[in-house]
Amino acid sequence: MVTIVVYKWDIINQLKIKESELEELLFNLKSEVKPVDQDHVEIEINNDRPDLLASSGIIRAIKGLKKLELGEAKYEVKKSEYTLSVENVDTRPYAIAGIIRGIKFDEDKLKELIQFQEKLHITIGRKRKKVAIGIHDLDKITSKNIVYKEIPLNYKFIPLNGNKEITVKEVLESTDQGKQYGNISVKNGKTPAIMEDDGSILSIPPVINSEKTRIELTTKNLFIDVTGTSLDAVISTLDLLTTNLAEIGGKIEQVKVLSAQQDFWSPLLKHTTMRIYSDYVNKKLGVNLPTSQIVEYLRMARFDADSMSKNEIEVIIPPYRVDIISQIDLVEDIAMMIGYQNLEPSTYKLSKIGNTSEKTLISRKLRDLSVGAGFTEIFTFVLTSDREIQGDYVKILNPVTVDYTVIRNSLIPTTLYFLKQNQHSRMPILVFEIGDVVIRGNTDTGYKNSTRAVYAIMDSKVSFEELQARIHQILYNLKINFSYRKSEHHLLIKGRTAEIIRDNSEVIGIIGEVHPEVLEKLGIEYPIVISEIYVDKLSGDNE
Amino acid sequence: MLSENEIKIVEYLKTKPDRTASAEEISKALSIPISSIYSLAQLLKEKGYVRTEEKKVTKYELTEEGKLRLQNGMPEERLIKILNGQNKKISELREVLGEELEIALGWARRKNLIKIDKDTITPLVNDYHSPELDLLRDPSKIDNENSKQLISRKLITAKQETFLLLTLVQDVVETTKAITYITPEILRSGEWKKSPIKEYNVEAEPPFYPLAKKHFFKEFLERLRDVMIELGFTEVNGNYVELEFYNFDLLFQAQDHPAREIHDSFMIEGKGEIRDEELIERVKEMHKKGWKYEWDENVALRLVLRSQTTAVTSRVLSSKPKPPIRTFTIGKVFRPDSIDATHLIEFHQLDGLVIEDGFTFRDLLGVLKEIFYQIGIKEIKFKPAYFPFTEPSVEVYGKIEGLGWVEMSGAGLLRPEILQAVGINSDAGAWGIGIDRLAMLLFGLKDIRLLYANSIEFLRTFTG
């Protein structure tokens, strides 16, 4: 989700709507709106709709929703005399360019264009790695022949906001943009550059433009370069930029791209044709619309659409609707034009009998018995600190705090930590928890969840038997055949520790008194008896 | 007939020379809660053993300013000390006394300690000791009269407190031994027929009992499970450690999608394996066609802590299930974030999946409406939304009293590309509901961390 800030009166006045209407209209376009100040609002835009990252796109969409304009918004396109020669650039092979003439900027419009560029960088451009945009004042460019090629790092120019010529290397080291994006496309001492054929630099993508071609409030004509690692993304980005600028009155002119492979004119403004079937739409949405009505909705969504037969519709996808992958994407647009609030939810029909998982079944039984045995249920985190646990456990490679660096492999440490926090509470404290830990397993990840139950008693005086008596009754009521076997555990007192064995073979748990050494280390001043039961091993033939 | 505690009180009063003690004193001496002493005193009075008297006492406490003055001295006293019998200019004094100068001058003049002539201060005394300070030092000397000025100078506060005094007026002469506990021996011997049975103070507050109870948030999760089961869904579970393949790739999330960056999921060392070669090929194809890039199997094999329970749905989809299918899962998911009153790094989601021929978007809205209705959220609205794996997509907003509309769920029809990749020739819808924040709102909690509070006293006193 991306947010943009726009001058709201532009939208409200152009659409002739009331201020209060804007929120609902945007809600129906997937967007939420929040006031910023008297004149500006912040709008949340979903990642699938980069065409809405500028108010021009939002206005275009709402015009359809309100039936002020139907079908695709058409923009006049001319060919310019400008060329862009694309040489071999390894790290960033694709470059295209376009021209916009006759733009009238005011402060808000200029700010919005910069914002649009930045948001495209973040989304479709993947933080400039995939796509980067340079926007220039066309009238400050002397030559009509622009070149895209690699230049050495000692090449000099004045970067945007700079006042003297410095080398590319210095730009990368001294400017914020240089530090942030400098290492994306530099390789073997060379950086890609957009330049005039006389050698003066327009931009070094994806880092920074030159001061020479800076755009200002007085700028009327724009030269836009787009470079990147994906031709599709580069083409879409320039289409998005130029069509949105055309929506606010700019005239699009194409630049001839000359490359070793082929020559072509950009922006491409390529349209695709898609067939959609009325019965498909009706079946997906659960409605019964005639083809003519579906055509109408598609036109409201700003697509050119015509019915080809009773069931078939031809839809032209405009270049800026980069989100339309298949028919189903058009179905969503149709649903949005109908309005989600007008789609009556179907009455719920029960079709099957529901079932709990085995894990839930046994956990529920165990919880009932545990409360019956006098334990209060606690709920602790799965993530814990590597300071707390031992043995084989899963480590997080990118933890956010030292308190949560690993996944617990036993409930005993997290329970002891809980008890430590409650030493000054009213005694006795009897607690239990049923929860998952992660251990190694023969799965496709090498790890698996294991469900455990932990029981603990803390009081000024506790006994092994006091806990054992309760656990014994719980297991007995699960109809398990079990016994105890003397054992050892690194947290428990030797001679006061036992494994719980099922059917004389499988270990299903451990029980014992916590060693004073452990209590001392944890800073616990009360004795504790504790038991951990392996819940996965309790289910099965115990009915 | 006196109870054990009543006798204790009588015995205690006997030890006092004037046979009198306050309820507070008795409570401390006998370790009986003060509230019980009040009710016992009432009983003893009714039975004629004690006389009670309520005494009102005014207690004086130093304010913050009072404490400060006690430490630094009264401003007027400091002034006299600084003057030390000499005339001084106001500006000179301000340098030393600062903001306190005005207070010092005001009181010094009122107490006739100085004379002010334009900007010159002439002391009328060489030495001054303010009586207020003595009172602050020993508040027991404060009385009704001298407290007035201290209160008006905001140096102390006065509080009325009531004491209950008990005076023994009749000694206990027990002729017969009363029965406290009815024992098997007493029943067998029939002694209860001869001796009276001691009365209990049945109106007193009982001692604390550590009631065993289930955790309120676990119970909420169980309720959600019941709702889903009643709606005909079968529960499935998954593991916390998951392949990126199931957490992202199968769900049509491009490998360079911002949501897959390192700060958006917890990474785990190691690589997993995908045993279904055909599935890998289809998913690769899906990404290539849909997002137009070279899909990398090695990225899909990386391990993460699942960031959405949709990973479990993903597993169901890839298990070649035979429709009709209705499954759900409730479980923990993990996301790097800062931990505060509204954010956790591990929380719960409920994910649901329906695969049925002819399942429509309106059917999906119907399922969502029913789920929320059963949870108790009767008013909902739908907003168009975007998720990589569903189309059309929808967000569910529910109305919560006092809060308004709250985003509760993301849902949609599964993209046909995904169904094709897993080889399911049917219609499907899926949704995810964030549970913790919903629970926090429904329980009226101000801090989401209280769902996992590590205070036993909170669990004992919280009643849901």
CATH number assigned to the domain comprising residue B287: 3.30.930.10
Residue B1 pLDDT greater than 70, yes or no: no
Do A484 and A399 belong together in one domain?
yes
pLDDT at res. A441? 92
Contact predicate B415/B391, CB 8 Å:
yes
Does the pTM exceed 0.90? no
For residue B80, is it within any domain? no
Do B142 and B265 belong together in one domain?
no
For residue A352, is it within any domain? no
Residue B258 pLDDT greater than 60, yes or no: yes
Count of domains forming chain A: 4
Residue from A141, A140, A166 nearest A154 by CA? A166
Do B240 and B181 belong together in one domain?
no
- Range with the poorest average pLDDT among A167-171, B112-116, B404-408: B112-116
For residue A351, is it within any domain? no
Does A445 sit within 8 Å of B242, measured CB to CB? yes
Do B188 and B238 belong together in one domain?
no
Do B229 and B169 belong together in one domain?
no
Do A81 and A115 belong together in one domain?
yes
Q: Look up residue A529 and give its DSSP letter.
A: E
A359 touches chain B (CB under 8 A): yes
Burial class from Cβ neighbours inside 10 Å (0-12, 13-18, 19+) for residue A57 reads buried
Chains A & B: contacts with CB separation below 8 Å: 256
Look up the domain containing B52 and give its range: 1-74+130-206
Decide which of A266, A286, A306 is a domain's last residue.
A266
Please give the radius of gyration of chain A, using alpha carbons only, rounded to the nearest integer.
33
Do A314 and A411 belong together in one domain?
no
pLDDT-based confidence at residue B173 (cuts at 50, 70, 90): low
Q: Tokens 């410095």, residue?
A: A166
pLDDT-based confidence at residue A77 (cuts at 50, 70, 90): very high
Q: Tokens 């030092």, residue?
A: B137
Residue with more model confidence, B417 or A388 = B417
Look up the domain containing A386 and give its range: 358-537
Do B198 and B240 belong together in one domain?
no
Do A528 and A428 belong together in one domain?
yes
Which CATH number covers residue A47?
Answer: 3.30.56.10
pLDDT digits (tens, 9 = 90+) for B272-330: 999 999 999 999 999 999 988 889 999 999 999 999 999 999 999 999 899 999 999 99
Q: Rounded CA gap, A260 and A363, in Å?
A: 68
Do A528 and A406 belong together in one domain?
yes
Residues contacting B226, CB < 8 A, separation 6+: none
Does A286 sit within 8 Å of B225, measured CB to CB? no
Residue A74 pLDDT greater than 80, yes or no: yes
* ipTM over 0.95 threshold: no
Structure tokens at B294: 């070279």
pLDDT at res. A15? 92
Do A168 and A90 belong together in one domain?
yes
Do A181 and A326 belong together in one domain?
no
Computed over every residue of chain A, the mean pLDDT equals 94
Strands A94-101 and A222-228: antiparallel
Nearest to B336 among A129, A344, A400 (CB): A400
For residue B307, is it within any domain? yes
Distance of CA A116 to the CA centre of its chain: 19
Nearest to B366 among A340, A348, A397 (CB): A348
pLDDT at res. B306? 96
Give me the residues of A, 273-302, that contact B with CB < 8 A: 283-287
Do B292 and B162 belong together in one domain?
no
For residue B96, is it within any domain? no
Q: What is the mean pLDDT of residues A81-95?
A: 95
Burial call A129-142: b when 16+ CB within 10 Å, e when fewer:
bbbbbbbbbbebbe
Decide which of A244, A266, A288 is a domain's last residue.
A266
CA distance from start to end of chain B = 43
pLDDT-based confidence at residue B35 (cuts at 50, 70, 90): confident
Distance of CA B414 to the CA centre of its chain: 40
Do B195 and B253 belong together in one domain?
no
Do B202 and B241 belong together in one domain?
no
For residue A353, is it within any domain? no
Do A118 and A220 belong together in one domain?
yes
Residues in chain A: 543
Contact predicate A533/A453, CB 8 Å:
yes
Q: What percent of chain A has pLDDT over 70?
A: 99
Contact predicate A427/A526, CB 8 Å:
yes
pLDDT digits (tens, 9 = 90+) for B369-391: 999 999 999 999 999 999 999 99
Residue A183 pLDDT greater than 70, yes or no: yes
Contacts of A341 in chain B (CB under 8 A): 381-382
Residue from B168, B156, B188, B189 nearest B61 by CA? B156
Do A454 and A468 belong together in one domain?
yes
Do A175 and A259 belong together in one domain?
yes
A360 touches chain B (CB under 8 A): yes
pLDDT at res. B95? 82
For residue B121, is it within any domain? no
For residue B97, is it within any domain? no
Do A367 and A482 belong together in one domain?
yes
Do B276 and B308 belong together in one domain?
yes
Do B143 and B181 belong together in one domain?
yes
Q: Look up residue B197 and give its DSSP letter.
A: B
Q: Rounded CA gap, A453 and A455, in Å?
A: 7
Do B335 and B270 belong together in one domain?
yes
Count of domains forming chain B: 2
Cis, bond preceding B336 (omega within 30 deg of 0): no
- Range with the poorest average pLDDT among A165-179, A219-233, B194-208: B194-208
For residue B86, is it within any domain? no
pLDDT digits (tens, 9 = 90+) for A250-267: 999 999 999 988 899 999
Residue from B367, B413, B407, B432 nearest A30 by CA? B407
Decide which of B206, B231, B262 is a domain's last residue.
B206
Please give the radius of gyration of chain B, using alpha carbons only, rounded to the nearest integer.
39
For residue B60, is it within any domain? yes
Residue with more model confidence, B219 or B152 = B219
Contact predicate A304/A315, CB 8 Å:
yes
For residue B85, is it within any domain? no
Which CATH number covers residue A383?
Answer: 3.30.930.10
